[in-house]
Amino acid sequence: MTAVPIDGKTLALRVREEISEDVAAYGDPVCLATILVGDDPASHVYVGSKHKASHEAGIDSRDHRLPADAPQSEVLDLIAALNADDGVDGILVQLPLPGHMDEPTVLRAVDPAKDVDGFHPLNAGLLYLDQPALTPATPSGVMVMLDEYGVELHGKEAVVIGRSEIVGKPMAMMLLARHATVTICHSRTQDLAQHTRRADVLVAAVGRRALVTPDMVKPGATVIDVAMVRTDEGLFGDVDPGVWEVAGLMTPVPGGVGPMTIAMLLRNTLTAAQRRRTAVATSGS
């Protein structure tokens, strides 16, 4: 058996076309502001792709860049100015921040209504309460992929490897909200394979090449590989290529989860604009 690939690239293009149509139908300008501190090359690539994708969807963008030694107060001042700016709908702080900054403090400074990454505690709390507002883009993209490929979640065993605030925890919450029985594994999990072998849906979000081997996967399972491990030989995920022979559906790396993440960021930016303007209109009436 060879797993059917989940084509995130094609799906993301379609989602992005839908967003462009929705932005055009919305009529008012929509604007995403990004903040990049320092000169991490990967972060520069990510921010560049986010601006390109925004423009292609008809979303305006503002690109704020600060030197690696900028004081945290400068970032907080910039966030405060963007929070107050009615022309800005979404604010994205590119991670990681330099070591002298406290990421939670910076992320908490973003107005939750403009928090298109969904990292603010208010948005994380709403997801926990099953009242999602703005949710993290990567797990949101995974949910769209699962739905697109008709993957049953109700009552199924879902195992998430990784418990970060960006991927693992929100992923687990989203699967739980869809009535999967969810297990979260992490670096202290004993006998990882014993958990993963039960999974009807297995999401790997660790960042360790070939962590998930064929013997760890239930035949026919849906395997979502979130990881991006950059090496001199190219980009790899957490899942060993041998798993293609065991799984039923599987995301490739590259071309799986990655493209969907940007698409969902654009969706969040439009959602933030729509919700904020509705709220302003309601409070003004």
Residues in touch with ligand NAP (CB under 6 A): 138, 161-164, 166-168, 185-189, 192, 205-208, 211, 226-229, 257-258, 261
Q: Which is nearer to ligand NAP, 21 or 103 (CB)?
A: 103
Alpha-carbon dihedral angle through residues 125, 129, 133, 138, given to the nearest 10 degrees: 80
Do the Cβ atoms of 33 and 47 come closer than 8 Å?
no
Beta bridge partners of 64: 35
Report the nearest approach of ligand NAP to the CB of residue 12 (Å): 10
Report the nearest approach of ligand NAP to the CB of residue 10 (Å): 16
Nearest-CA neighbor of 122 among 109, 112, 136? 112
Report the nearest approach of ligand NAP to the CB of residue 208 (Å): 6
Do the Cβ atoms of 34 and 94 come closer than 8 Å?
yes
Question: Is residue 50 among the annotated active site residues?
Answer: yes
Q: Which is nearer to ligand NAP, 154 or 188 (CB)?
A: 188
Q: Which is nearer to ligand NAP, 53 or 257 (CB)?
A: 257
Beta bridge partners of 35: 64, 93
**102 C-beta neighbours (distance < 10 Å), count:** 11
Do the Cβ atoms of 171 and 139 come closer than 8 Å?
yes
Q: How far, in Å, CA of 166 to CA of 46, rounded? A: 15
Reduced to 3 states (helix: H, G, I; strand: E, B; else coil), residue 142 is: helix
Q: Which is nearer to ligand NAP, 61 or 251 (CB)?
A: 251
Q: Which is nearer to ligand NAP, 88 or 158 (CB)?
A: 158
Output the CA–CA distances (angstroms, integers) from residue 45 to 41, 85, 136, 262, in the order listed: 6, 26, 19, 12
Do the Cβ atoms of 212 and 205 come closer than 8 Å?
no
Q: How far, in Å, CA of 216 to CA of 16, rounded? A: 34
Which one of the listed residues 89, 111, 115, 117 is annotated catalytic?
Answer: 117
Q: Which is nearer to ligand NAP, 173 or 228 (CB)?
A: 228
Q: How far, in Å, CA of 135 to CA of 171, rounded? A: 10
Report the nearest approach of ligand NAP to the CB of residue 39 (Å): 19
Report the nearest approach of ligand NAP to the CB of residue 7 (Å): 15
Report the nearest approach of ligand NAP to the CB of residue 83 (Å): 25
Question: Is residue 94 among the annotated active site residues?
Answer: yes
Give every CB contact of residue 220 below 8 A, 6+ residues apart in sequence: 1, 247, 248
Which one of the listed residues 89, 94, 111, 240 is annotated catalytic?
Answer: 94
Do the Cβ atoms of 260 and 143 come closer than 8 Å?
no
Supply the residues annotated as catalytic.
50, 94, 117
